[in-house]
Amino acid sequence: MKITATIVLAVVIATLSIEARAEDTCNLNIADRARAAVAFDQMLSVFRHPRCANCHGALNVYEADTAHPPGSMMQTETDIFGDTMSTPAGAETCVQCHDAARGEWIQKPNPTSEIQWANLSDEDLWRRLRNTRIITNRVTRETEDSTGNLLIQHTRDDPLIQHGFAGTRAMTANTSWWGERPSPEPPPFTKEEFIVALEDWVDALDARETWPEGDCSVALAERQFSIRSLQYPETIASGARAIDLTVVYSGRPEFPIQVILQPRTCPSDSSCGTERRNVSETSSANTITGTGMFWCTGLSASEVWDMDYEVVLMDAQQRRTEPFASPVTCKPPEMRTR
């Protein structure tokens, strides 16, 4: 009797451990797993940054209700992948406005294209980078299956990535854009710093020549709950309502999540309050939106004034992120003429 029970138990344990292993196919040792996850986390602050993400699916300039300032673009020419490309409805080409990128400034028109990774989860983006095809010759349109080395080389050489890191949206003083042009923020790392993280990720995975069999993106699940980036207008008219704040986070928070916008310091001639929004679900991967925030209430004696805010997330388990700086420039409410 006793022996049978032990055998049964042993069989159960064996089955359980096989199941546990089937879920986690990563063959790396613990140190390399952690190293890959830390390096990828650094890369994510660049991938998720608007200067890169806007061109990789976060902003679709071909959509009818696009947030692209001059409006929706049309697709006419053929791009380097053989997909139809892009001249705007007003018969201008992209580079009349994005004039530092002659012959280069393109966005893939197909929202399901493999390079439109902005809305993927962190894990899916990890897997996507190893499964993508990399353009190796912009003239002949040759592409090759991704390897670590190709990804590193592409990041070094690609003019679009260079424009992303420059942070200017490839617009110079000579742009034909007639509208307001707030100076955009570059990503938080330089290209050189990004390449150090990329090389570290590739080397931790031993993926210079070929990607390893197992899926090591599981290592990302052990990360802390933190804010990676914020998106909101850099300048806001006082009294303007319904300003949405988009927050990209990492980690595995439990919903609902509270988006908290609080003053860090308050100008002496203003009164500043804290705003909270409960968000019950993610709008897309690792992204939540606090809708209708009040940023710039009241008036100031000055023409424009700066508010020193910060954002904190708190999840259902009361886990809080570190505060993330969210400065904003306020201006008087838009005056109506007559």
Exposure of 213 by Cβ count < 10 A (0-12 exposed, 13-18 middle, 19+ buried)? Answer: exposed
Give 127-133 contacts, CB < 8 A, sequence gap 24+: 127/215, 127/217, 130/207, 130/211
Residue type at 87 in one-letter notation? T
For the chain, helix, strand, coil in percent to 5 are 30, 20, 50
Angle between helices 30-47 and 191-204 (to 10 degrees): 150
Question: Considering beta carbons, is residue 63 or 254 the nearer one to ligand HEC?
Answer: 63
Radius of gyration in angstroms for the set of CA atoms belonging to the chain, rounded to a whole number: 24
Question: Considering beta carbons, is residue 97 or 261 the nearer one to ligand HEC?
Answer: 97
Q: How many residues does the chain have?
A: 338
Closest separation in Å from C-beta 259 to ligand HEC: 22
Closest separation in Å from C-beta 292 to ligand HEC: 22
Question: Considering beta carbons, is residue 56 or 277 the nearer one to ligand HEC?
Answer: 56
Question: Considering beta carbons, is residue 130 or 277 the nearer one to ligand HEC?
Answer: 130
Closest separation in Å from C-beta 43 to ligand HEC: 8
Residue with tokens 């190893």: 130
Give the DSSP H/E element, type plus range, for residue 24.
Answer: none
CB atoms within 10 A of CB 261: 24
Bridge-partner residues for 310, per DSSP? 262, 325
The pair phi, psi for residue 160, each rounded to 5°, is: -70, -40
Closest separation in Å from C-beta 77 to ligand HEC: 10
Closest separation in Å from C-beta 222 to ligand HEC: 24
Nearest residue to ligand HEC on Cβ basis: 164
CB atoms within 10 A of CB 288: 23
Closest separation in Å from C-beta 311 to ligand HEC: 20
Angle at 125 between CA 156 and CA 131, to 5 degrees: 75
The bridge status of strand 243-250 relative to strand 87-88 is unpaired
Question: Considering beta carbons, is residue 105 or 225 the nearer one to ligand HEC?
Answer: 105
User: Residues interacting with ligand HEC, by CB under 6 A?
Assistant: 46-47, 50-52, 54-56, 59, 61, 68-70, 73, 80, 86, 88, 92, 94, 96-98, 105-108, 115, 117, 129, 132, 134-135, 154, 158, 160-161, 163-165, 169, 177, 179, 181-182, 184, 187
Closest separation in Å from C-beta 236 to ligand HEC: 14
Closest separation in Å from C-beta 123 to ligand HEC: 15
| Residue 7 contacts residue 183 (beta carbons within 8 Å) | no
Bridge-partner residues for 312, per DSSP? 260
